[in-house]
Amino acid sequence: MRHWKAFVFAGLLGFVAMSLARSHESETKPVRVALVKMPYVGERNVPDTSRGPDYLEEGGIRKLLEQQGVQVQPTATVALSTEEEKAYGSWNHLALASGDMAKLLVDERRRGSLPLGLLANCNGLLGMLSGLQHSGPSAKPLRVGMVFIDAHGDFNTPETTLSGMLGGMPVAIAAGQCLTRMRMKAGLEPALPTRHIVEVCVRDTDPLEQELLDRSEIQQLTLEDVRTRSANLHREMKRLSDLTDVIYVHVDMDGLDPREVPGVALPVPNGPTSAELAAALTEMFKYEKVGAFGVAAMPYDDHDKTGISRQAAYNLILGAVKGVQQRKSE
């Protein structure tokens, strides 16, 4: 009996030691980030691709992340195949590129990396969401939530839009409100229930778009929620964590205070500073289910002559990664 007790006690000691070792390993293991560039814009009568993602990478974000102890994987860039390039239509090219992007995200997620999307515009969220949806351990789609930070609701449809811009529709597309073929070609199926979406700092919507938002279950957080990292913000993050398997956080650069992004195409007053939003992102990324981050619509070259907009984007990226690092150490 004494030998048996000694054996059990030794086994328990071994189990505890192994658990402590694994715990220590998880605490000290650095965060892995994968930069994924999505240059396709999807807009008609403009070039198929934007230099914004390249510009965002070229300013030294890899070095900044590494200085924070982050392991940065080789950059992946979405590119259509020769056959895909032959396909007709800018919207079609976007859908095909989104499907290709989703595959890159699945690979990076399964390697244990946090995908960081450098996106030409908000249409890139279709590939981000599709990739997250199919990154689980089985063929069953994951339940995806989205925190969408933008000055605009991007919940227009072809029937409600005043401008005709596809860039004003990606949230509606992702939620199954329109352009079903595009969503399906991107691989996002099923669509996101609107209760799985939280919009942040939205302050410029079209009249019919606002009617759609009012009838939806999309939740809204305000500038004050961002500035104070309010209980509302944490309530929504907890709610999404309970409802979904993985959460995508997306930022359009025009969501910020226009003084920090003077080159954006559609500036709207009363946005947060990059420091304020970065602090809020740190809080969001402490939640375990947040699995990817995207930065869209980066002003570049002559539209960002001083580099202030790129620095603002870097503040956001570093704020998000800080949240993941704190998640691992707490």
Find the mean pLDDT for residues 177-183. 98
pLDDT of residue 271: 98
pLDDT tens figures, 80-130: 999 999 999 999 999 999 999 999 999 999 999 999 999 999 999 999 999
Exposed (0-12), middle (13-18) or buried (19+): which is 47, by Cβ within 10 Å?
exposed
CB atoms within 10 A of CB 31: 21
Whether 168 contacts 216, CB under 8 Å: no
Same domain, 15 and 46: no
In terms of residue numbers, what domain contains 54? 32-329
pLDDT for 17:
43
Task: Please check whether residue 42 is in contact with residue 99, taking contact to mean a CB–CB distance below 8 angstroms.
Answer: no
Same domain assignment for residues 67 and 138: yes
Residues 139 and 211 both lie in one domain: yes
pTM for this entry: 0.91
| pLDDT for residue 23 | 43
Same domain, 9 and 36: no
* Residue 28: pLDDT band with limits 50, 70, 90: low
- pLDDT the model gives residue 106: 98
Both 10 and 143 in a single domain? no
The verdict on 214 and 317 lying in the same domain is: yes
Q: One-letter amino acid identity for 129? A: L
Predicted local confidence at residue 308, as pLDDT: 98
104 and 16: one domain? Answer: no
- What separation in angstroms does the CA of 201 have from each of 91, 148, 222, 229, 292? 27, 9, 5, 13, 20
Inform me whether the pLDDT recorded for 209 exceeds 50.
yes
Q: Please say if the pLDDT value at position 3 is more than 60.
A: no
Asked if residue 173 and residue 94 are part of one domain, the reply reads yes
Residue 19 is predicted with a pLDDT of 43
- How many domains, the chain? 2
Cβ atoms within 10 A of the Cβ of 264, count? 21
Residues 6+ apart with CB under 8 A from 260: 273, 274, 308, 309, 312
Claim to verify: residue 131 and residue 6 sit in the same structural domain:
no
Average pLDDT, the chain: 92
CATH number at residue 209: 3.40.800.10
Q: Does residue 215 surpass a pLDDT of 60?
A: yes
The pLDDT score that the predictor gives to residue 46 is 84
133/263 same-domain check = yes
pLDDT at 92: 96
Q: Indicate whether 61 and 24 sit together in one domain.
A: no
What local confidence, expressed as pLDDT, does residue 44 receive? 84
What was the pLDDT predicted at 200?
98
Question: For 287, which DSSP code?
Answer: S
